[in-house]
Amino acid sequence: MLDYADKLTREPWNMTEADLAPLREAGLNDRGILDLNQVVAYFAYVNRVADGLGVAVDDYAQEANSEAAVMSDEAALHDLYHTWLQAWNDRDAEAMAALCAEEAEVIGFDGSQMAGRGEVASTLAGIFAHHATGRYAGIVRSASLLGPDIALVRGVVGMIPAGMTELNPKLNTIQTLVASKREGRWRILLFQNTPAQFHGRPDLVEQLTEELRPLF
């Protein structure tokens, strides 16, 4: 196979049907020979295109690494958002605070504000200690890099209140998360909750509720 690939690459004008005989002797059937031919030919084609456009190998590598890094960051941002929601469902104030930057700010559903990781931890601990809390489920609408180390996550969530079994449309929320990447880890800088009531547009409330309902 290597001899075939070498000759097809270096001397394609000298290829004859006789060059297929060693492949058949090695156990390749017609489909196998065709696959080998296409792989070698495509590799040569791509290299000719790159060479003809003056594209360096390093350019390919850098582009591939850049795309992989963006995909990795987007996955990490999705994970950050859903881990935050799960920590709420687990009623774990410390776990939620650990996801925040030291100077983070969290704005609650009712407009209350928590400034700093310590206040996030203490305020949420008080909520969990003195109130029955509902269970969230959410959808990430988008996770966008605004720069190498800053990102914006947009999500929507619904909640089943404590002691209930059905989603309460009045608690549907649009959430915005601004995250900063430090020492290779994404942390929350700002978490904003906005009630998704769409005043005067009940059809939008129902549409969002139906989208969120299957999550539960």
**pLDDT (tens digit, 9 = 90+) per residue, 98-150?**
999 999 999 998 899 999 999 999 999 999 999 999 999 999 999 999 998 99
Q: 177 forms bridges with which residues in the sheet? A: 153, 191
Residue 59 is assigned to a structural domain of this protein: no
Contact (Cβ atoms closer than 8 angstroms) between residue 173 and residue 195: yes
Do 183 and 147 lie in a common domain? yes
Over the stretch 34-78, which tens digit does the pLDDT of each residue have?
A: 878 888 888 777 777 777 777 665 554 455 455 555 567 888 899
81 and 19 housed in the same domain: no
What secondary structure letter does DSSP report for 70?
Answer: H
User: Domain of 132: which CATH number?
Assistant: 3.10.450.50
CB contact at 8 A, 107 and 173? no
The dihedral of CA 40, 44, 50, 53: what is its sign?
negative
Predicted confidence at residue 75, as pLDDT, reads 85
- What is the separation of C-alpha 194 from the centre of its chain, rounded to a whole number of angstroms? 23
What's the pLDDT tens digit per position in 187-211? 999 999 999 999 999 999 999 999 9
Q: Do 45 and 75 lie in a common domain?
A: no
**What pTM was computed for the model?**
0.67
Q: Is residue 108 part of a domain?
A: yes
DSSP structure class, residue 174: E
Q: Give percent helix, percent strand, percent coil of the chain, each to the nearest 5.
A: 55, 25, 20
Residue 205, token pair as written in the block: 């409330």
Residues 113 and 26 in one domain: no
Select the more confidently predicted residue: 63 or 18: 18
Q: Is residue 64 part of a domain?
A: no
Hey, what are 187's tokens?
Answer: 């942390």
The Cα angle at residue 202 between residues 201 and 206, in degrees rounded to 5: 130
**Are residues 92 and 17 part of one domain?**
no
Q: What is the pLDDT of residue 60?
A: 47
Domain boundaries, position 20: 2-52
Tally of domains within the chain: 2
Contacts by 54-58 with C-beta closer than 8 Å and gap 24+?
none
Domain of 35, CATH number, reads: 1.20.1290.10
**Same domain as 46, residue 94:** no
Q: Is residue 65 part of a domain?
A: no
